[in-house]
Amino acid sequence: MNDGRRALLLGAGSQIAPFLSHRLAESGWSGEALSRRSPPLTPPLHPAFAWRPHDAASPGLVLGAWDTVFSLLPLWLLPPLLPHLQGVRQIVAFSSTSVHSKASSPDPAERALAGRLAEAERKLLAICQATGMSCSLLRPTLIYGSGRDRNISLIAQFIRRHGFFPVVSPGRGQRQPVHADDLATAATACLQLPAPQGLTLDLPGGETLTFREMVARVFAALGRRPVILPLPALLVRACSPWLARALPGGYSPALLLRMNQDLCFDATPASRAIGYRPRSFRLEPGLLGGDHRQPSKS
């Protein structure tokens, strides 16, 4: 039953936004979803959340009064927006486990990203503490489930185009892909917390598998026999300067070498705090659609 609770979703173009809007609507919430561009139609936002255009850098921006704000924006965009909010009691914001995994990357751009996230987290928590706003900070890892992600769907796109996928041998780095709907469920569960101050939770998926196994699952979901091209790690390291120039914009040789790095995170704190129970890694062809031109950030 709708009891008049109103939420603002910042970042309506995020792959989490459609799932979050539906989870909130099921619990009687309504509100608005903001983004610079109109969100994709698949999957759609719930009708209870009206989309309107929003530019975080717009002068004279007024975001209004809301019971809760959910931020799906790049986290560093959120702290400057807080003065434009009125009477908000609670903020649920998404960061990323990249704040951990890329902090010591050999790629300066990745280290800068991790530092930017860490600084944004510190600013957000400090502002919320100073103003008395409740704050939950959620750090997902490798996200899938909408067909618009820059990880699993990009692997599928490469396989469709080339019929194989290159993996730096042996490809044993562990991964925990997390479905966007499980993240939406986690975000709505934060609404039941007793005014958390600075709660920070890592949100991995419910299954741990190697990078190579993850790629093989994508082949299976596409109905194809796995054709995995092994790349010697020593060769990739030796060719890093050339790869940095040859790979498409946004790719990094460090990304290739991470195929043998474990990127695993502990879901126990989230399980205890909000009952977090993510699903195992399941794929269907419908979850692998779209034409994604941005590189994987896993």
Residue 244 is predicted with a pLDDT of 53
Q: Which two structure tokens, joined as six digits, stand for 103?
A: 């902090």
pLDDT bucket at 30, cuts 50 / 70 / 90: very high
- Please report, in angstroms and rounded to a whole number, the separation of the first and last CA atoms in the chain: 39
Q: Which two structure tokens, joined as six digits, stand for 151?
A: 């990880």
From the list 19, 61, 54, the residue with the least C-alpha distance to 34 is: 54
Stated as kind and residue range, the H or E segment containing 64 is: strand 64-65
Counting residues of the chain whose pLDDT is more than 70, the rounded percentage is 88
Give the whole-angstrom CA distance, residue 148 versus residue 288: 8
pLDDT bucket at 121, cuts 50 / 70 / 90: very high
pLDDT bucket at 60, cuts 50 / 70 / 90: low
Burial class (CB in 10 A: 0-12, 13-18, 19+), 26: exposed
Residue 149 is predicted with a pLDDT of 84
Output the CA–CA distances (angstroms, integers) from residue 222 to 145, 241, 286, in the order listed.
15, 34, 10
Q: Which two structure tokens, joined as six digits, stand for 253?
A: 């040789």
CB atoms within 10 A of CB 50: 12
Q: Cβ contacts of residue 50 below 8 Å, gap of 6+?
A: 31, 32, 33
pLDDT bucket at 157, cuts 50 / 70 / 90: confident
pLDDT at 96 over 50: yes
134-159 mean pLDDT = 90
75-104 mean pLDDT = 92
**DSSP class per residue in 148-210:** --SSHHHHHHHHHHHS-EEEETT---EE--EEHHHHHHHHHHGGGSSS-SSEEEEE--S--EE
- Each residue's pLDDT tens digit, 198-222: 899 999 999 999 999 999 999 999 9
Output phi, psi for 182, to 5 deg.
Answer: -65, -35
Domain annotation for the chain: domains and CATH numbers = 6-288 (3.40.50.720)
- pTM for the model: 0.90
